[in-house]
Each structure stands twice: as structure tokens, then as C-alpha cells.
């Protein structure tokens, strides 16, 4: 009878040691991963919200081809601003579908230059000013704090990006 107890004790000790060893190895792996892989990475979630439908519409808009077979993305990447096809098509999509939820809709190209001029185009006008500070928020965005604005940015080249802004 004593032999059976020592077998049970031995098996229990083996499982306890194995469990503690696995937990220690996992903790070391988590520590190593967090220390090496997150040194230069930052996440900026300040006042930005996501609207999945608007984001999917934005990507579908960029993949749409004109009569010549060139996508909107390729057109915008090669031009300085929106052309007639890409500008009017953007108005059809974003003005019609999102103006009800977001009174200010803007789509345009942002150039990285030494002095930032006012960013505007002939289809959507000037880019709305968005502030993360609540004291500068409009009354409408205070009423709807869950959707102050939505911003989607696509980098086209090193100095040029395309941005969609939906805001109250």
C-alpha cells in the first residue's frame, strides 16, 4: 500500500514541476517579445474612430478602374490632385452615402512640404480642421462622442498621401 502512495506522489511532483517550468518559459518568452519588438512602435488612438463601412468604401474607391483600365489609386499616385474622374466619383460615393452621418466630408491629397499650405481641392474644398482637444470640438461632436471623426490615410509616395476625413 505504501508503494502506491509513493508512485502517486512522484507523478504529482513531476506534473507540478512540469507546469511550473512551462509557466516560467512562457513568462520569459513574453518578456523577451515585449522588450525586443515594441521599442519603436507606438499606437495613436487619440480621438480617432473607425467606421468599417467608410474604410471599405475608401479601398473599393481606390481599386475602381476608369474606362482606360487605370485604377483610381494609380491615377492619384501619378497626378498632383484629383482628376475629373476620381473627383466626381468620390463625390458620388462619399457625399451621397456619408453626408447624413458626417456633415463634413473631405477627400484629398496631402503633400509633405516645408510650409504646410491650406489643403484643398476643387471637389471637396478645404480640409476640415480636426482637433483632439475637446474644448475645440463642435457641439455636434460633443453630442455624439462615439463618432467625433473618422480619418483614413493612404501613403502614395514618400511625400504624398491620400486622406479621407469624415467629421461632424
| Cβ atoms 162, 153 nearer than 8 A | yes
3-state secondary structure (DSSP) of residue 152: strand
Beta carbons of 165 and 130 less than 8 angstroms apart:
yes
Tens of pLDDT, residues 67-76: 888 898 888 8
* Mean pLDDT confidence for 17-27: 95
Q: Is the pLDDT of residue 44 over 50?
A: no
- Report pTM: 0.58
Q: Dump the DSSP string for 73-137.
A: HHHHHHSSS--HHHHHHHIIIIIHHHTTT-SEEEEEEEE--SS-PPPEETTTEEPPP--SSGGGS
Q: Is the per-residue pLDDT at 29 higher than 80? A: yes
* pLDDT per position as a tens digit, 103-154: 888 888 888 764 455 577 788 888 877 655 444 444 444 444 455 578 888 8
Q: What are the structural domain ranges in the chain?
A: 1-41, 52-167
Amino acid at each position: 500500500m505504501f508503494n502506491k502512495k509513493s508512485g502517486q506522489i512522484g507523478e504529482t511532483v513531476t506534473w507540478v514541476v512540469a507546469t511550473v517550468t512551462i509557466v516560467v518559459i512562457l513568462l520569459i518568452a513574453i518578456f523577451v517579445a515585449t522588450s525586443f519588438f515594441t521599442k519603436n512602435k507606438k499606437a495613436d488612438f487619440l480621438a480617432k474612430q473607425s467606421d468599417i463601412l467608410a474604410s471599405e468604401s475608401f479601398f473599393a474607391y481606390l481599386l475602381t478602374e476608369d474606362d482606360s483600365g487605370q485604377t483610381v489609386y494609380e491615377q492619384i499616385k501619378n497626378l498632383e490632385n484629383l482628376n475629373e474622374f476620381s473627383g466626381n466619383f468620390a463625390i458620388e460615393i462619399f457625399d451621397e452615402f456619408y453626408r447624413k452621418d458626417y456633415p463634413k466630408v473631405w477627400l484629398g491629397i496631402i503633400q509633405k512640404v516645408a510650409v504646410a499650405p491650406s489643403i484643398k481641392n476643387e471637389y471637396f474644398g478645404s480640409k476640415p480642421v480636426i482637433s483632439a482637444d475637446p474644448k475645440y470640438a463642435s457641439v455636434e461632436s460633443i453630442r455624439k462622442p462615439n463618432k467625433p471623426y473618422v480619418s483614413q490615410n493612404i501613403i502614395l509616395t514618400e511625400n504624398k498621401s491620400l486622406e479621407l476625413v469624415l467629421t461632424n
